[in-house]
Chains A and B, each alone.
Chain A
């Protein structure tokens, strides 16, 4: 594996057992996360992006399971790590920032207790005093006065709590931070500040960040590369410049056209027809074909491979590939 890749996900499938049967919430997805990058993972609600993020730490539980896939993190396949050893990796090597900072902190623990507990869980030899000092140092760097550490979550604002969440992810110098819609519940001003902070931290700590979001604007602002998911499948991956300038997959194209743009005044906003499919009974072939304006015969029959369409830009679409050499692609 190339050394510049921190986390390589290979053919990951995550299943949910439901009353209607087994749902593949993430279906045979591969993705590389490079060292030091901010990778945006976008898609509609329910496309499996949060499930994907949780699966990277093997945090799925209850009805969810991973029937197959490889999770190569820093040269080690996490799928082969016994479940009882996973807590040592969570929080220490991979940190996570959750969507809602209002509910992600324990209401009966002070902020200091959150931090020292996290530090001492992973480094039991650290004394209370040393853990306190580290916690103070950490939050000061995130712009929280250390006197506020003795406070409880309900005494802090949303933006402040989200910074606490970040500090918890950074407390053990995690190599990878998975941020699952970290700004969804924040207002625009706080969101902008938070994104700036995220970028600063990424440079300062040489962090790798997987930013899960449904907000294309956030991706454009902070990400280096972007990955697009649709109905449990990865449909396009590439650098933000390339994908925004020349989106290959019709879904990405539609997604980008439905974002308001001040510079290009094209009148009415584009509205993508149809609805995301049920994952219990996904469409055959390419899952986007019922909504795709460029759908062809083959799209409903066979699933396109996920492969390079232009250098490092990958997409899974029949527009750019041939069907096993037998069927010719006919445009229109």
Chain B
């Protein structure tokens, strides 16, 4: 089975089950809402793809001249352009692009070995997942627990520490934090590797199924590889995760404080419910509702952050792929990556809305 299909199954089956569950359990209103959201995703991806298509062609330079470099004679360039279909009228190219989007075939790369883009992405996409999933988990853990802790110790030292942390972290440039971490933990202390996903020598022993090295090394029981993967994950995950966590700390703190002033918290306190339960049970559950919305909105920023993080850590994921192909003017690859990102953002925000309805009974019925 090709890695990308396996991945699609791993992500797809649980999401479809979740959607189906909510779809069946939910009210007519909720059902209509989910359908509307799915249908609206299509024009969104279409508009975004079209924008990218035209912006790329307005940019100076083209894939052929940047691939051939100064050695390319005008005759060579012209013949390769014709070969790749770049001399066709724009409207023909646009029609071809739309068809590729609809069929999800994405065509072949315009540079290098002209490999199918789907094959290139199936190597790159798992790497990005391997980065953004632990980074999001880290951001949420710091954000939710830090924010709640700060709220429960309002106006005390802990609170001020978390508030300062949130502002500082939120205003740091992501590449700068990455470089500083590399310099300190990688170069000065020499504890952790600063680039790549796995030690290149150990990497040759790894049998890949999903291309998510974390999972591959785990299911094949390749422990040296597993350890190497973990070591390589630490710095990029911390970089991307910490940057994301600042906003979550602030939003969670603000929402928990607001919820703690609600009448139902006072009423629960008057029933003898202890403060810890009030904060982590009652207040946090209510405060999570706006935070969940934020998680959905943050996905786009997370992917943008992944582009920077991957570049800093030479992480062979979708982000660094995008950067490489933009400079190579590989129209097909850039269009495809943007399309996949757009679908990913749409899918995750839909999933977030569905989770929202599971947490908040007022939406469910």
Query: In the complex, how many angstroms separate the beta carbon of B256 from the nearest chain A beta carbon?
Result: 14
B176 interface residue per 8 A CB criterion = no
Our pick among B270, B277, B285, B360 for the contact of A96 (Cβ within 8 Å) is: B270
CB of A108 within 8 A of CB of B274, answer no
Our pick among A59, A89, A154 for the contact of B361 (Cβ within 8 Å) is: A154
Bound Cα distance from A202 to B77, whole angstroms:
95
CB of B271 within 8 A of CB of A106, answer no
Bound Cα distance from A122 to B272, whole angstroms:
8
For A98, what are the chain B residues with a Cβ–Cβ distance below 8 Å? Answer: 263, 266-267, 270
- Of the listed residues A57, A59, A108, A155, the one surrounded by the most CB atoms of chain B closer than 10 A to its CB is A108
Query: In the complex, how many angstroms separate the beta carbon of A266 from the nearest chain B beta carbon?
Result: 40
Query: In the complex, how many angstroms separate the beta carbon of A183 from the nearest chain B beta carbon?
Result: 16
Assess A92 versus B264: contact at CB under 8 Å? Given A107-B361, A154-B361: no
A91 interface residue per 8 A CB criterion = yes
Query: In the complex, how many angstroms separate the beta carbon of B269 from the nearest chain A beta carbon?
Result: 6
CB of A152 within 8 A of CB of B362, answer yes
Bound Cα distance from A57 to B285, whole angstroms:
26
Query: In the complex, how many angstroms separate the beta carbon of A211 from the nearest chain B beta carbon?
Result: 16
CB of A100 within 8 A of CB of B272, answer no
Interface string of B260-280 (1 = CB under 8 A from A): 001110111111111001000
- Of the listed residues A92, A106, A108, A154, the one surrounded by the most CB atoms of chain B closer than 10 A to its CB is A106
Chain B residue with Cβ nearest A100:
B263
A103 interface residue per 8 A CB criterion = yes
Chain B residue with Cβ nearest A103:
B263
B359 interface residue per 8 A CB criterion = yes
Query: In the complex, how many angstroms separate the beta carbon of B364 from the nearest chain A beta carbon?
Result: 9
Bound Cα distance from A106 to B287, whole angstroms:
12
B99 interface residue per 8 A CB criterion = no
CB of B365 within 8 A of CB of A90, answer no
Our pick among A91, A100, A110, A154 for the contact of B271 (Cβ within 8 Å) is: A91
For A95, what are the chain B residues with a Cβ–Cβ distance below 8 Å? Answer: 270-271
Query: In the complex, how many angstroms separate the beta carbon of A205 from the nearest chain B beta carbon?
Result: 17
CB interface residues, A 95-138, toward B, < 8 Å: 95-96, 98, 100, 103-110, 117-118, 121-122
Bound Cα distance from A154 to B264, whole angstroms:
13
CB of A88 within 8 A of CB of B272, answer yes
CB of A121 within 8 A of CB of B273, answer yes
Our pick among A59, A91, A105, A152 for the contact of B264 (Cβ within 8 Å) is: A105
Query: In the complex, how many angstroms separate the beta carbon of A102 from the nearest chain B beta carbon?
Result: 9
Bound Cα distance from A98 to B268, whole angstroms:
11
Bound Cα distance from A106 to B360, whole angstroms:
11
Bound Cα distance from A104 to B271, whole angstroms:
12
For A155, what are the chain B residues with a Cβ–Cβ distance below 8 Å? Answer: 365
Bound Cα distance from A61 to B233, whole angstroms:
46
On chain A, the number of residues with a Cβ less than 8 Å from chain B's Cβ atoms is 30
For B277, what are the chain A residues with a Cβ–Cβ distance below 8 Å? Answer: 121
A212 interface residue per 8 A CB criterion = no
For A100, what are the chain B residues with a Cβ–Cβ distance below 8 Å? Answer: 263
Bound Cα distance from A100 to B285, whole angstroms:
21
For A89, what are the chain B residues with a Cβ–Cβ distance below 8 Å? Answer: 272
Query: In the complex, how many angstroms separate the beta carbon of A147 from the nearest chain B beta carbon?
Result: 15
Our pick among B274, B286, B362 for the contact of A87 (Cβ within 8 Å) is: B274
Query: In the complex, how many angstroms separate the beta carbon of B239 from the nearest chain A beta carbon?
Result: 35
A165 interface residue per 8 A CB criterion = yes
Assess A165 versus B267: contact at CB under 8 Å? Given A107-B362, A108-B360, A152-B361: yes
Our pick among A57, A108, A109, A152 for the contact of B270 (Cβ within 8 Å) is: A57
Chain A residue with Cβ nearest B264:
A106
- Of the listed residues B262, B266, B286, the one surrounded by the most CB atoms of chain A closer than 10 A to its CB is B266
Chain B residue with Cβ nearest A57:
B270
CB interface residues, B 263-306, toward A, < 8 Å: 263-264, 266-274, 277, 282, 285-286, 289
A219 interface residue per 8 A CB criterion = no
Interface string of A58-94 (1 = CB under 8 A from B): 0100000000000000000000000000011111100
CB of B286 within 8 A of CB of A106, answer yes
Our pick among B266, B271, B285 for the contact of A108 (Cβ within 8 Å) is: B285
Query: In the complex, how many angstroms separate the beta carbon of B292 from the nearest chain A beta carbon?
Result: 12
Bound Cα distance from A92 to B270, whole angstroms:
10
Query: In the complex, how many angstroms separate the beta carbon of B299 from the nearest chain A beta carbon?
Result: 24
For B274, what are the chain A residues with a Cβ–Cβ distance below 8 Å? Answer: 87, 121
CB interface residues, B 24-76, toward A, < 8 Å: none
Query: In the complex, how many angstroms separate the beta carbon of A88 from the nearest chain B beta carbon?
Result: 6
A168 interface residue per 8 A CB criterion = yes
Chain B residue with Cβ nearest A168:
B271
For B359, what are the chain A residues with a Cβ–Cβ distance below 8 Å? Answer: 108
Query: In the complex, how many angstroms separate the beta carbon of B266 from the nearest chain A beta carbon?
Result: 7
Bound Cα distance from A107 to B265, whole angstroms:
11
CB of B268 within 8 A of CB of A106, answer yes
Pairs across A and B, CB under 8 Å, 20 listed: A59-B266, A59-B270, A87-B273, A87-B274, A89-B272, A90-B272, A91-B273, A95-B271, A96-B271, A103-B264, A105-B264, A106-B282, A107-B362, A108-B285, A108-B289, A110-B361, A121-B271, A121-B273, A152-B365, A154-B361
A: residues with CB less than 8 A from B are 57, 59, 87-92, 95-96, 98, 100, 103-110, 117-118, 121-122, 152, 154-155, 165, 168-169
A108-B360, A122-B272 are known; give 15 further A-B pairs, CB within 8 A.
Answer: A57-B270, A59-B266, A88-B272, A90-B272, A91-B270, A98-B263, A103-B264, A106-B264, A106-B268, A106-B282, A118-B273, A121-B271, A152-B365, A154-B362, A168-B267
The 9 nearest A-B residue pairs measured at CB: A91-B272, A91-B271, A103-B263, A96-B270, A90-B272, A152-B361, A104-B267, A87-B272, A106-B264
